[in-house]
Amino acid sequence: MSFLSQCSTETIASAAKALADGHLVAFPTETVYGLGADATNPDAIARIYSTKGRPSDHPLIIHIPSIDAMGQWALDIPTYAISLARDFWPGPMTLILNRSGMAKDFVTGNQNSVGLRVPEHPIALALLQQFAALGGKGVAAPSANRFGAVSPTTAQDVAEELSTYLLAGDLILDGGPCNVGVESTIIDCTGAAPRILRPGAITPEMIKESTSLELDESIYTPTIRVSGSLESHYSPKAKVTLDIQALTGQGLIAMAEVETPEGVIRLASPSTIEQYARELYSALRAADSEGLTHVVAISPVGDGLAAAIRDRLKRSAAF
């Protein structure tokens, strides 16, 4: 395993070649770091599952270089999904579509749907474009951490958590801290109207404006497994409790206007919702680094990205 901090054109070309040769490459996106492999290579995909300790029926998101690649991986793409892709790709949005024959069971978790995303990070895009130039069709990439643990937002996070699981020939590309900090919005586009399966930076209001459709919020929920949908996820070793008074010796994550009680270790004091999202996972990781056993998080108020943060906090507290 090699850690590459200088992501030059030559470095990215080498990483694309590593993917083509069946190796794993951890790379930055605007949301979190992903652990990538050739989405058409069953042996490479199997290594993602074993490296993460991920259940084999949990599908992977396929990262593609542009909207033009949608048709290779998906069939019967609805007009509203194309509108979403045009408006928000590259960006922090994953679309769930009916899969084509290229999307095999080993990458879809034996489902008839496939998740696609065009990331916005320049290193991710350059890697996908270089991989496509070598004949690659897409890179399957869940978050670059052990399954159920806190997602990584720096290359150092990836190295600390996965270096003992990665092999010679695998690479970690360092693109600095992630700008968004929480995973992409996942939108089910297999029905007549879009349905949010995981909230993120692409908000319900943005989706409605793009598609001119009301979201499918009916009681019936399609049986589609997606990343980050388990009740317990994004969990540090420390116990996480929400919206109570932090006590001496505990960690605290809260907006800046919330005062720190005496004896409490402040882990993050974001002044905006965007900063809260960027700092959330690094704060949870810091709790473990400092040996804390209990973290209190005060949930942010509001819709959109604040709702995505509350979703991640709820799942981290369910562990």
- pLDDT for 181-204, tens place per residue? 999 999 999 999 999 999 999 999
**Res 223: pLDDT:** 66
Q: What is the pLDDT of residue 317?
A: 94
Instruction: Say which residues have a Cβ less than 8 Å from residue 68's Cβ, sequence separation at least 6.
Output: none
User: Is residue 4 pLDDT above 90, yes or no?
Assistant: no
Give the bridge partners for 188, in sequence order.
96, 195
Cβ atoms of 150 and 237 closer than 8 Å: no
Q: What is the spatial distance between Cα 291 and Cα 258, in angstroms, rounded to a whole number?
A: 23
- Residue closest to 267 by CA, chosen among 248, 286, 288: 286
Residue 171 phi/psi, 5-degree rounding, is -135, 150
Q: How confident is the model at residue 226 (pLDDT cuts 50, 70, 90)?
A: confident
Structural domains of the chain sorted by starting position, each given as residue range(s) with its CATH number in brackets: 2-211 (3.90.870.10), 239-317 (3.40.50.11030)
Beta bridge partners of 113: 98
Q: Which of 259, 227, 254, 260 is nearest to 241 (CA)?
A: 254
pTM: 0.95
